[in-house]
Amino acid sequence: MLRQIRFLPSENIHGRLLPWVIAVMVFLAGLAMLIALGLQMTARTWHQGLAQSLTVQVINADKAARDREVAAALAELHKTPGIAAAAEETSDQVVALLEPWLGKGNVGPDLPIPALIDVKLADGPPVDVTALGAALAKVAPSARVDAHERWLADLLVLMRIVQWIGGVIVGLVGLATVAIIIFATRAGLATHRETVEIVHMMGAKDSTIAGAFQWRFLWVGVKGAIIGLAALAAGIGVVHVINQRLEGALLPQLLPPPEVLASLLVLPVVAGLLTMLTARFAVMRALADMN
Amino acid sequence: MIRFDNVGMRYGSGDEVLRDVSFELLRGSFHFLTGRSGAGKSSLLKLMYLSERPSRGLISMMGVDIVTAKRKALPRLRRNIGVVFQDYRLLDHLSAYDNVALPLRIGGATRAEVRDYVEELLVWVGLKDRMKSLPSTLSGGEKQRVAIARAVINRPTVLLADEPTGNVDDEMAARLLRLFIELNRLGTTTVIATHDMGLVDSIEVPRLHLEAGKLVQLPPGIDPPNDLPNALRLPEAFPQAVGLARD
Ligand SMILES: Nc1ncnc2c1ncn2[C@@H]1O[C@H](COP(=O)(O)OP(=O)(O)O)[C@@H](O)[C@H]1O
Ligand SMILES: [Mg+2]
């Protein structure tokens, strides 16, 4: 399989279009992978960050009563097992949280803002959020436990769906690529049928003949994938630049994390191997029909 | 070495072009295969070089029954059969040198072996200056010599040549025939299909003779019976019938 005999013409044997088709396929697969993997990583970060914390809001317009309730709630929280830490956010922190919505300087001292208690959960058995809520209600009637899990769950489902769609796209692109490579190999075989027949007649093994094709196709696959990846990289770069210009705090971080970007480097390998093995398979099939 | 038993062959669903062909060629034998154009010479050779399969009968090449042989066993067999195709079948995109080198490379020869053997043989067939030429730039006779060189380069056990001297002058034909005889002396079983009677008469070897798909074996020096009429006769009444008579 490794020893090569050069008997095919040195110009391309697969048609001029194949590397470009593979480039487009790799671009699409890469994009789908980016979205799916990027979402998965984001979801995991959020999940880890938010599942280990909850927020207790104390909503009471009367500042004195509010402070009293906060103190009571903190005391209750500190003696609840499974809670690592609980601290009131300073009003500056709360203002900073509100500013993106209300505008800088619009959050005045006269605005009744709720007190927020940031609760860090300890590792170990999960805290019973409902029981905690009931316990808090006894000492601080206007306290409300905000477990992030609830709305996070919906978001996670959505993300998972998008991930699945990404995976399906990668799969479909892979299948379409295989079909295209089979067509290209068949066309290449048809064009060089006379050559293949003569070499076959001289006693070349099927695997030798397939070998001559497969190494060419390996290179085509790798070349196409590199073109596709380059286009994808250019696209990511453009999005990144635009994202930075907008300076939007609300825009999600669009540049995928480095480990996701690195995972794209499997695409040339996969595309090369896929192209090579498909070509080999197609040639072996065609040769099996010869005497 | 080569054995045919009641072999019949047809292309597709057409009539049989070879019928009840039986013969045995011993190791190291040299035969001419003669017969008129269309008698089936090329078809018989195709059976021997495993390009076509018989529609009936048994064929054994070098002790291998090719009808029942596993497909995997055939490449080895083919590597021991040198073929000069009637239409040369050179690879157009390879130089004369690379065309001739191909069987050696398929057989796994080293680079040095390839260089030595190929150059020597191309010099021998008078193509020293055309080694790097593509077939498209070669004359018919030159292509034929490349095809012959390619067929004999790995000193095959069996050599099958289909009209190998059809495109060269008598002097080159004699030289090529000498090449075949040399190779045969080294043990190669040889069958040369030709309708060049000059060539056939130049050496005394037995003949396989085909008449419309049927085979007869003839010892050296004997011509097959000629069943063609010696003269073409026109109906005597013909001139009058068309009113051309002038009397
Ligand atoms: N590929 C083919 N398909 C169908 N008929 C063929 C083919 N090759 C040869 N024939 C027919 O087979 C017969 C024998 O041809 P061939 O073996 O080429 O004879 P020869 O080489 O003696 O001239 C002829 O009638 C020819 O028309
Ligand atoms: Mg012929």
Exposed, middle or buried: residue A117 (CB in 10 Å: 0-12, 13-18, 19+)? buried
Report the C-alpha gap between B201 and A135 in whole angstroms. 120
Distance from Cα B194 to the centre of ligand 2, integer Å: 8
The CA-CA-CA angle for residues B33, B39, B42, to 5°, reads 60
Asked which of A108, A141, A174 is the last residue of a domain, the reply is A141
CB contact under 8 A, B80 and A198: no
Would you say residue A210 lies in a domain? Answer: yes
Please give the pLDDT value at position A23.
94
Of all protein residues, the one whose alpha carbon is nearest to atom 27 of ligand 1 is B38
DSSP string, A155-222: HHHHHHHHHHHHHHHHHHHHHHHHHHHHHHHHHHHHHTHHHHHHHHHTT--HHHHHHHHHHHHHHHHH
Distance from Cα B52 to the centre of ligand 1, integer Å: 12
Please give the pLDDT value at position B210.
92
The amino acid present at A42, given as its one-letter code, is T
Q: Is the pLDDT of residue A194 over 60?
A: yes
Shortest-distance ligand to the CA of residue B48: 1
CB contact under 8 A, B94 and A202: no
CB atoms within 10 A of CB B73: 12
Total domains, chain A = 2
Report the C-alpha gap between B21 and B39 in whole angstroms. 13
Of all protein residues, the one whose alpha carbon is nearest to atom 18 of ligand 1 is B42
Please give the pLDDT value at position B235.
46
Please give the pLDDT value at position A250.
46
Looking at the fold, whether A283 and A162 belong to one and the same domain comes out as: yes
pTM: 0.73
Looking at the fold, whether A285 and A159 belong to one and the same domain comes out as: yes
Looking at the fold, whether A86 and A221 belong to one and the same domain comes out as: no
| Biggest CA pair distance of chain A | 99
Atom of ligand 1 nearest to the CA of B35: 22
pLDDT digits (tens, 9 = 90+) for A136-179: 888 888 888 877 666 677 777 888 888 888 889 889 988 998 89
Contact B119, B100 (CB under 8 A): no
pLDDT digits (tens, 9 = 90+) for A242-286: 877 776 544 455 567 787 788 888 888 988 998 899 889 988 988
Would you say residue A147 lies in a domain? Answer: no
Would you say residue A148 lies in a domain? Answer: no
Contact A89, A118 (CB under 8 A): yes
Please give the pLDDT value at position B226.
60
Looking at the fold, whether A171 and A275 belong to one and the same domain comes out as: yes
Task: For residues A229-237, give the mean pLDDT.
Answer: 90
Atom of ligand 1 nearest to the CA of B163: 21
| Biggest CA pair distance of chain B | 82
Identify the domain containing residue A191 by its residue range. Answer: 3-47+153-290
Contact A54, A147 (CB under 8 A): yes
pLDDT digits (tens, 9 = 90+) for A27-73: 998 888 888 877 777 777 776 666 677 888 888 878 888 888 888 88
Would you say residue A54 lies in a domain? Answer: no
Distance from Cα A228 to the centre of ligand 2, integer Å: 52
Report the C-alpha gap between A150 and A142 in whole angstroms. 20
Distance from Cα B43 to the centre of ligand 1, integer Å: 6
3-state secondary structure A42-80: HHHHHHHHHHCEEEEEECCCCHHHHHHHHHHHHHHHHHC
Candidates A11, A195, A201, A208, partner chain B, best to mutate (most B CBs within 10 A) = A201
Asked which of A141, A163, A195 is the last residue of a domain, the reply is A141
Chain B nearest-CA distance from A165, in A, is 45
| pLDDT by residue, tens only, chain B of 247 residues | 999 999 999 999 999 999 999 999 999 999 999 998 899 999 999 999 999 999 999 999 999 999 999 999 999 999 999 999 999 999 999 999 999 999 999 988 888 989 989 999 999 888 999 999 999 999 988 999 999 999 999 899 999 999 998 888 888 888 889 889 988 988 899 999 998 888 888 888 899 999 988 988 777 766 665 655 555 545 444 444 343 333 4
Looking at the fold, whether A166 and A209 belong to one and the same domain comes out as: yes
Please give the pLDDT value at position B243.
38
Q: Is the pLDDT of residue A238 over 50?
A: yes
Would you say residue A216 lies in a domain? Answer: yes
Would you say residue A55 lies in a domain? Answer: no
Looking at the fold, whether A234 and A181 belong to one and the same domain comes out as: yes
Report the C-alpha gap between A216 and B187 in whole angstroms. 40
* Residues of chain A contacting residue B77, judged by C-beta atoms under 8 Å apart: 203
Confidence of residue A135 (pLDDT cuts 50, 70, 90): confident
Site to probe by mutation for ligand 1, drawn from B43, B87, B207, B208 as the one with most ligand atoms within 8 Å of Cβ, is B43
Shortest-distance ligand to the CA of residue B13: 1
Please give the pLDDT value at position A248.
55
CA-to-CA separations, A194 to B1, B51, B91, B139, B163, in angstroms, rounded: 29, 13, 8, 21, 20
Looking at the fold, whether A67 and A187 belong to one and the same domain comes out as: no
